Amino acid sequence: MEAQAKPMNRDTPQRIPPNLDELILVTRSGEETQVLGRAIGEAVQESLVIALQGDLGAGKTTLTQGIAAGLGVSHRVTSPTFTLVSEYPGRDGARLLHVDSYRLGDSSQAAQREASTFGMEEILEQAEAPALGEPPAITVVVIEWAERLAELLPPDHLAIHLEHLPDEPDSRRLRLVAHGPRSRALLSRVAQAWTPQPAEPL
Ligand SMILES: Nc1ncnc2c1ncn2[C@@H]1O[C@H](COP(=O)(O)OP(=O)(O)OP(=O)(O)O)[C@@H](O)[C@H]1O
Ligand SMILES: [Mg+2]
């Protein structure tokens, strides 16, 4: 079985195994979730799908804003309202494709059907086949409400589950799960790079 590290907080020794399948973290503010997102974006070295799951207000867009910053995106990232996907240019030709499946069909079958008519398979393929260029550019596809598109996700993707903590309005528990070699390598780099922020102002 692969090594796991959970949960991680400031008291956890920083001995991170090289191939990590799962990482559980708690953030104490939206800013801290953005810092984590930035660490993820900075750790990206190859194209990948990042599948975000969590209720309304769990912090999916907040995390995506951090990922965007770490990918060198200078535009402000908001949820795509009228389009299914927004595209942002980042560092060294990298692109962020931000998908929000919230408004797709009522059931996940209907959502997947609707997503297919909008070319979701082609969008996801862009994170699998390297874009042409020298060196090949990176495409990161971040999907909010990814559980609705579960059957369309490529085998290798990084799933991130976000949830509120009871009685702590500004805390979130994030469970990052790697589903293949690329996402596993990314997760290990994130675990090495991310330093939790102080929970309280000093
Ligand atoms: N620890 C935290 N992590 C993330 N967001 C937090 C945290 N604490 C408070 N927040 C706040 O919670 C809100 C999260 O909103 P956000 O739009 O990111 O959620 P979402 O999951 O994308 O929601 P939706 O399902 O509507 O798309 C923001 O206002 C953010 O500032
Ligand atoms: Mg959102």
Q: Please identify every residue whose CB atom is under 5 Å from ligand 2, which is an ion.
A: 60-61, 79, 144
* pLDDT of 109 strictly over 90: no
CA distance linking residue 97 with residue 120, whole number of Å: 11
Atom of ligand 1 nearest to the CA of 58: 21
> Do the domain assignments include residue 1?
no
Ligand 1 pocket test: which of 28, 60, 62 has the largest number of ligand atoms within 8 Å of its C-beta? 62
What is the average per-residue pLDDT within 115-131?
84
pLDDT of res. 3: 42
In a domain, 137, yes or no: yes
Ligand 2 centroid to Cα of residue 137, in Å, is 26
pLDDT tens digits, 162-190: 999 999 999 999 999 999 999 999 999 99
Residue 199 lies in a domain: no
Total domains present in the chain: 1
Whether 140 is covered by a domain: the verdict is yes
Q: What CATH number does the domain containing 125 carry?
A: 3.40.50.300
Q: Is residue 142 in a domain?
A: yes
- pLDDT value for 24: 95
Is 8 inside a domain boundary? no
* pLDDT tens, residue by residue, 63-83: 999 999 999 999 999 987 778
Q: Is 170 exposed, middle or buried (0-12, 13-18, 19+ CB in 10 A)?
A: middle
Q: How far apart are the first and last CA of the chain?
A: 40
Cβ neighbours of residue 30 closer than 8 Å, sequence gap 6 or more: 59, 62, 170
Among 20-29, 61-70, 128-137, 141-150, the least confident range = 128-137
Report whether pLDDT(198) > 90: no
What is the domain extent for residue 186? 20-193
Q: Is residue 200 part of a domain?
A: no
Q: When comparing pLDDT for 134 and 122, which is higher?
A: 122
174 located within any domain: yes
Q: Is 155 exposed, middle or buried (0-12, 13-18, 19+ CB in 10 A)?
A: exposed
